């Protein structure tokens, strides 16, 4: 009876479709998320949300992915919210839920998408934190691209804003890459531990037959 129940549960279990874990697919997917969020803003928010949901469906462990989002995207959201409060960024006041959040919902969604790259297309940074710090000097250019597209206004001059953002990202990116790697390693060890501790059922059955 127990075996039949387990068979039925396995049959209807959600299949593992780790397409989202592929490095190339993940990089292309994030480009789509960035374009949808930055170019489309609130108008394309359903598209951005759809891309995030699609990612969860095709990832190998969507529960762990959501936990990673909550843990690491918070760092980015607080960073951009702090810079907005400081007056560096101005997103206007016409975006959705502007009375509750200092930054737009589409930017929060963009941070979720970015976090999803840390253990995939940006996985190489986890063991090379010095490289993550160097890449941090490139990331601020995405803010200026957003400014060109009308998604945000930056109060400081180009070089003033760039140096400030590069300094912050040179610290934040290695930190996030390191934390993402730690979360992944911890999740992997938890999955392997029950397998190692699980007793074998074949020997008792063979002994009973004897």
CA atoms within 13 A on the CB side of 53: 6
0.85 exceeded by pTM:
no
Helices of type H across 41-136: 45-58, 62-68, 74-85, 105-115, 129-135
Span 87-99, pLDDT tens digits? 999 998 878 877 8
Task: Return the SS3 of 153.
Answer: strand
Say what the pLDDT of residue 96 is.
80
Span 47-86, pLDDT tens digits? 999 999 999 999 988 999 999 999 999 999 999 999 999 9
């Amino acid at each position: 009876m127990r075996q039949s129940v387990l068979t039925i549960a396995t049959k209807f279990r959600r299949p593992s479709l780790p397409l989202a874990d592929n490095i190339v697919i993940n990089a292309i997917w994030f480009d789509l998320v960035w374009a949808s969020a930055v170019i489309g803003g609130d108008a394309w928010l359903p598209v951005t949300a759809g891309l995030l949901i699609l990612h969860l469906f095709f990832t190998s462990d969507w529960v762990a992915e959501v936990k990673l989002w909550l843990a690491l995207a918070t760092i980015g959201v607080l960073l951009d919210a702090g810079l907005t409060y400081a007056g560096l960024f101005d997103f206007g006041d016409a975006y959705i839920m502007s009375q509750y959040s200092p930054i737009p919902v589409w930017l929060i969604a963009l941070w979720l998408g970015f976090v999803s790259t840390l253990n995939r297309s940006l996985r190489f940074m986890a063991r090379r934190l010095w490289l993550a710090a160097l890449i941090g000097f490139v990331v601020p250019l995405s803010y200026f691209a957003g400014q060109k597209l009308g998604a945000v206004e930056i109060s400081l001059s180009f070089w003033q804003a760039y140096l400030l953002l590069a300094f912050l990202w040179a610290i934040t990116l290695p930190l996030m890459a390191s934390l993402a790697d730690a979360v992944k390693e911890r999740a992997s060890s938890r999955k392997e531990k029950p397998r190692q501790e699980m007793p074998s059922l074949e020997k008792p059955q063979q002994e009973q037959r004897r």
